[in-house]
């Protein structure tokens, strides 16, 4: 079973290149009288090329990013020649992953453009919280660019659209809390901090941010 899964994964990974070989094979067979082989090669070519064009290597991009292998992620991204032909939910995820990579490289302008493309490709197939997560990231990008008003607007939209988990909700409330503190609106900041804390996040980094924000608010009193 493991061997079959490995073979299947390799076929998925290299289907783009397999498709190119099959295109050449189909063209070559068209000059012969081997009609059966020509049709077989043609069907395999359509499956290989079509599945790559419409589904893309999204799984491999995601796995590479999670493993911190940005070089491999970029390699897979380059094989997507026509991103607009990807099915909507795949396209949305593709642009979101590209935006994540741009943020990691501190290309905040590029990250913003890619996230807007992801939002325009929104699909109900991804389920509740996907659109909210996109706006949360837009808010984070705007914060990095120093656009506080835009960040505030996008973070509010993220909460209105709904976020999939408590960590994401806590992050949105914490970012809004920070904006209100910078604007010296302490009552609003305290209220937002309480909402962030009430989310009971489990992510260690977010819990650390909560502790730091609590000290900051306490010192402001």
CA proximity to 99, closest of 123, 124, 120, 125: 120
The string of pLDDT tens digits covering residues 78-100 is 888 888 889 888 898 899 888 88
The string of pLDDT tens digits covering residues 161-186 is 888 889 999 999 999 999 998 888 88
| Confidence bin at 58 (pLDDT 50/70/90) | confident
Structure tokens at 50: 């079509």
- What span, in angstroms and rounded, lies between the C-alpha atoms of 7 and 11? 6
Count the alpha carbons within 13 Å of 39 in the hemisphere toward its beta carbon.
3
The string of pLDDT tens digits covering residues 96-141 is 888 888 888 888 888 888 888 888 877 655 554 577 888 898 998 8
What residue segments make up the domains of the chain, in order of their start?
A: 1-55
CB atoms within 10 A of CB 18: 19
Map tokens 């070989």 to a residue: 21
- What span, in angstroms and rounded, lies between the C-alpha atoms of 21 and 204? 48
pTM of the model: 0.72
Cα 54 vs. chain centroid, distance in angstroms? Answer: 17
């Amino acid at each position: 079973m493991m061997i079959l899964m490995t073979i299947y994964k390799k076929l998925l990974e290299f289907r783009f290149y397999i498709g190119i070989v099959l295109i050449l094979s189909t063209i070559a067979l068209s000059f012969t009288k081997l009609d059966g082989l020509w049709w077989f090669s043609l069907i395999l070519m359509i499956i290989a090329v079509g599945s790559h064009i419409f589904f893309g290597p999204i799984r491999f991009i995601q796995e590479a990013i999670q493993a911190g292998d940005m070089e491999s992620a970029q390699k897979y991204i380059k094989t997507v020649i026509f991103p607009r032909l990807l099915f909507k939910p795949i396209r949305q995820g593709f642009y979101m992953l590209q935006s994540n990579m741009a943020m990691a490289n501190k290309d905040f302008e590029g990250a913003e453009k890619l996230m807007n493309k992801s939002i325009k490709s929104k699909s109900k197939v991804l389920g509740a919280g996907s659109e909210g997560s996109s706006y949360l990231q837009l808010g984070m990008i705007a914060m990095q660019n120093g656009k506080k008003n835009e960040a505030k607007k996008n973070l509010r939209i993220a909460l209105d659209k709904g976020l999939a988990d408590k960590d994401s909700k806590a992050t949105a409330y914490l970012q809004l809390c920070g904006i209100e503190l910078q604007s010296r609106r302490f009552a609003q900041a305290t209220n937002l901090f309480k909402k962030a804390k009430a989310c009971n996040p489990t992510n260690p980094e977010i819990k650390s941010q909560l502790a730091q924000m609590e000290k900051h608010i306490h010192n402001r009193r």
